[in-house]
Amino acid sequence: MINQTTYFEVLKWASSFLENNQKESFMAEYLLLERKDWSKTDLLLHFKETMPESEKEQYLKDLEQLVKDVPVQYLIGSTEFYGRRFLVTEATLIPRPETEELVDLILKDLPNEPLNIVDIGTGTGAIALSLSLERPNWQVTGIDISREALEVAKANSKELQAQVTFVESDVLETYASSQPVDVIVSNPPYISLDEWDVMDESVRKFEPKQALFADNNGLFIYEKIAKESQAVLASTGRIYLEIGYLQGESVSRLFKEAFPEKEVEVIQDMNGQDRMIRVK
């Protein structure tokens, strides 16, 4: 067991422990903040206090799992997304900060009036629930092929008290609506199987492969969305997609062919990488 007693001492030891095991030392602090639901200011205020033995035992167990590449979010069972906390399990992809930019783009683009929104590949429900909570007058549906992921999304919906409908479907195959869809949004599986060797070890070991990888060099789900959305999208409807940073040209070409009357734009993220497609 760790001999150190204060939060400061334990954190210093944990940082060295991770570094000695070829892991990023900053994860020690991130793990502690997540476990305690503290800000960095909270940590500073408690630095010199004694860490309870029960907390220390849990922290040590967590560190041992980190060394085995288990993501912190799965250890904690939740993560922050767009200012809210979402439950995550190994049945769901861990929501990324880049996807917050997709939500932000949609909210800035669209008027605050009743709209019919469909989120394909909803996972934790992070996109669908964030949009619904920010725009309560939008009718939002989250679709996923994974029943296990949908259970997590429903739990998040209940916890956050959001009004979102969830549907089990392979893209839009079994989706039915009495009215045209105003907006389709998706952060689909887009990683090529050829990229397996360059993926982070924690992603390869623990995140759901079905939510990560797609055939045809990562384009298969985009092709399916482009084809199936033509039957449900309103004539003035829009599509917003997250993409891999090298997929801008290939994905935009797909949607230009599917919707020749619409403008298709590649949008970069805050790091200057191609990250989103807007069809309008």
Question: Which structure tokens are listed for 250?
Answer: 């290939």
- Collapse the DSSP code of 251 into the 3-class scheme (helix H, G, I; strand E, B; otherwise coil) and give the result: helix
Rounded to an integer, what distance in angstroms lies between the CA atom of residue 9 and that of residue 1?
Answer: 13
Cβ pair 11, 25 in contact under 8 A: no
Q: Which residues contact 6 (CB under 8 A, 6 or more apart)?
A: 47, 48, 49, 50, 51
- 103, 101, 100: which is closest to 117 by C-alpha? 103
- 67, 73, 62: which is closest to 2 by C-alpha? 62
Rounded to an integer, what distance in angstroms lies between the CA atom of residue 261 and that of residue 151?
Answer: 38
Phi, psi dihedral angles at 279 (to 5 degrees): -115, 120
Instruction: Detail the residues annotated as belonging to a binding site for substrate.
Output: 187-190
Rounded to an integer, what distance in angstroms lies between the CA atom of residue 64 and that of residue 27?
Answer: 12
Rounded to an integer, what distance in angstroms lies between the CA atom of residue 178 and that of residue 83?
Answer: 33
- Give the CA-trace dihedral at 54, 93, 277, 224, to 10 degrees: -170
Which residues, in sequence order, are bridge partners of residue 141?
A: 118, 165
DSSP assigned state of 194: G
Rounded to an integer, what distance in angstroms lies between the CA atom of residue 18 and that of residue 87?
Answer: 26
Question: Which structure tokens are listed for 62?
Answer: 């967590």
Instruction: Detail the residues annotated as belonging to a binding site for S-adenosyl-L-methionine.
Output: 121-125, 144, 187
Instruction: Detail the residues annotated as belonging to a binding site.
Output: 121-125, 144, 187-190
Question: Which structure tokens are listed for 275?
Answer: 């990250």
